[in-house]
Chain A
Amino acid sequence: MLYREAGQFKTSYAKDQAVFPIIQDRWFIALVLVVAYGVVPLVANEYWLQAVLIPFLIFALAAIGLNLLTGYAGQLSLGTGAFMAVGAYATYKITTVFPEINILVVFVMSGFVAAGVGIVFGLPSLRIKGFYLAVATLAAQFFILWLFNKVGWFYNDNPSGTITAPPRTVFGIMVAGPRATAEVRYFISLTFLVIFALLAKNLVRGRIGRSWMAIRDMDVAAEIIGIRPLQTKLLAFAISSFYCGVAGALYVFAYLGSAETEAFDLLQVSFPVLFMIIIGGLGSILGSILGAAFIILMPIFLTNAPALFNLPMPTDLSKHIEEIILGGLIVFLLIVEPKGFARLWQIAKEKLRRWPFPY
């Protein structure tokens, strides 16, 4: 089928404002969903689900969260790991105190807890910008993780200092804990991602998204046309932290199974998620997902590719090669295409739309 929008006339503003105004895009998304829900679980083995797909889905959710804050509202955050930790620890506390609450509901509740914490650490954003704000979010990163590490209440005074996903069922299906299958955890992560990606898309194409972008592009002018800077920024912090919080809950309950604060470390989580949105595209929901895929897949590729050619690849060497590729790619993309993969995808579509004509 040719990728054409000729002949697709919109007869109302409602149709013009749709998420996917072009028919072919709608078909494509439908196809992706069918594959994700119907085909992948049939063909993917345990390793692929556990080591690749589940972390990809969860990090994509966190990346969308950070992209709302950094890519849309222009507020740089290095505290993603901490906000994810809030979600994970909140889930742990709530579900151990109230085991009868549906765990999926608990995930969402933990998102709200993270949103509250996000608001507190977003408060300085009224007075400070850019890399100054990055320092404020670093304070969140170090302080929150220290708190979860030191105060036994957060991990129920567990002697190992870790939080462990207890077995939980929803409609009789084991969804968390050691006996939950990878397939179930995959479905849960996928569903959370699909729903929240759509909600995020709705937010960014409406009034709130425009307010965020206005603040990002020129905060002074935004204030002068009546956008309240504090409310707008705090809402961005709250919603972004909500997403990160839910992602953090899934990170422990649908992926790791058990974790301590190190799992949410700056270098383990906060930086990689930032790289996902730079590489995928600042200010793009699709870009967040593409970026997450890239960051998750690259190390797997680097460890496995040399083995195919029988080349030795010590792990620390592959780690440093990864750093070089990441660092180089970030500098390269910021220079040539700050909108990342998402923009390249768009360009490809524009070319396809005109094909076979060059212009």
Chain B
Amino acid sequence: MNTARDIGDVLLKVEDISLSFGGVQALRDVTFEVRAREVLGIIGPNGAGKSSMLNVINGFYHPDEGRITYKGTTRTAMRPHEAARQGIARTFQNIALFKGMSTLDNIMTGRNTMMHRNFLWQALYLGPARTEELEHRGAVERIIDFLEIEAIRKTPVGRLPYGLQKRVELGRALAAEPELLLLDEPMAGMNLEEKEDMCRFILDVNDEFGTTIALIEHDMAVVMDICDRVVVLDYGRKIADGSPDQVRADQGVVDAYLGVSHG
């Protein structure tokens, strides 16, 4: 655990969020908050509603009930691209890269919200559009350096191995310079070495850029190691919320993981 950084005020607060698909209740009255500059872990058994929660936060799902307060503004729902413009970026459980494009182009798409030259300038590729393009190329190259993926810059991402794809996806999210970074199982399917690399990147991002991070992860050792706080979901409800040590000692959490029947 890293305690050196100063955890700030509440950046994001979700209150009484409920969401259902057809007859299935994915989330039920979930309330928790994410504080500025912390690393928050969201854990829970399969089907607990973790990914749905991230989808609600970045506007992909619209909750049936509840409010989301982000940077002091309360709303019930927003469109995903608005969330992106507000500084929320994310990665996906099943990698959602643009398979036909190179690593460089994928990461460049992350800077889309910051590029403003219209298509006439771009068609000419002169003046401001060219300057803008090159400026952002520079920023993207720094991310490529940071994630140590220089060698695959021009490779179409469809051809990359799984671990590298996850890294490129993180790069794309970082390129947006987000305030809140949502990571959906960033280490799923990785070997120990790759996990260590990924942990290092996450902590470095948090440390160097002060980015707030909310991540879903199944590997408890990783969660206990890098998270400042942990929220536990089970069957769409929040069953615990606290420091890793508190959560580890919580009887309800232990039961959920051991599969004690829900009376």
Contact = CB atoms under 8 A, between A and B. Distances in A.
Chains A and B touch (C-beta atoms under 8 A apart)? yes
Interface of A: 13-14, 17, 199-200, 202-203, 205-208, 210-211, 213-214, 216-218, 220-229, 235, 239, 283
Nearest to B154: A16
Given A221-B92, A226-B112, A14 B134 contact: yes
Contacts of A202: 122-125
Majority-rule SS of B interface residues? helix
B117 A214 contact: no
Contacts of A221: 92, 96-98
B84 A207 contact: no
A13 B136 CA distance: 10
B137 A208 contact: no
B81 A226 contact: yes
A203 B133 CA distance: 12
Interface stretch (B11-19, B21-29, B101-109, B209-217): B101-109
A211 B124 contact: no
Specify which of B117, B123, B176 lies most central, judged by the most chain A CB atoms within 10 Å of its CB: B123
Given A203-B119, A208-B122, A225-B89, A214 B137 contact: no
Contacts of B163: none
Given A210-B101, A214-B98, A223-B80, 8 more contacts: A13-B137, A17-B137, A199-B123, A203-B123, A206-B133, A218-B96, A225-B113, A227-B81
Interface of B: 58, 60, 79-81, 83-85, 89-90, 92, 96-101, 105, 108-110, 112-113, 115, 117, 119, 122-125, 129-130, 133-134, 137-138, 141, 172-173, 176
A248 B96 CA distance: 38
Contact of B84 (A14, A199, A225, A239): A225
A227 B81 CA distance: 6
Contacts of B130: 14
Contacts of B90: 224
Given A13-B134, A214-B109, A217-B101, A206 B96 contact: no
A220 B60 contact: yes
Main secondary structure of the interface of A (DSSP, over half): helix
Nearest to B58: A224
B100 A13 contact: no
A229 B79 CA distance: 11
A225 B138 CA distance: 19
20 contacts: A13-B134, A17-B133, A200-B123, A203-B122, A206-B129, A207-B133, A208-B119, A208-B122, A210-B108, A210-B112, A214-B109, A216-B100, A217-B97, A217-B98, A222-B98, A224-B60, A224-B83, A224-B96, A225-B172, A283-B100
A65 to B, nearest CB: 13
A217 to B, nearest CB: 4
A227 B101 CA distance: 16
A226 B98 contact: no
A206 to B, nearest CB: 4
Given A221-B96, A225-B172, A214 B101 contact: yes
Top 10 closest A-B pairs, CB basis? A226-B84, A221-B96, A217-B98, A202-B125, A226-B113, A199-B123, A206-B122, A13-B137, A223-B80, A224-B80
B131 to A, nearest CB: 10
Contacts of B133: 17, 206-207
Contacts of B138: 13
B112 A227 contact: yes
Contacts of B92: 221
B122 A225 contact: no
B81 A206 contact: no
A214 B110 CA distance: 10
A223 B81 CA distance: 5
A109 to B, nearest CB: 15
Contacts of B105: 210, 213
Residue in A210, A211, A227 with the greatest tally of chain B CB atoms within 10 Å: A210
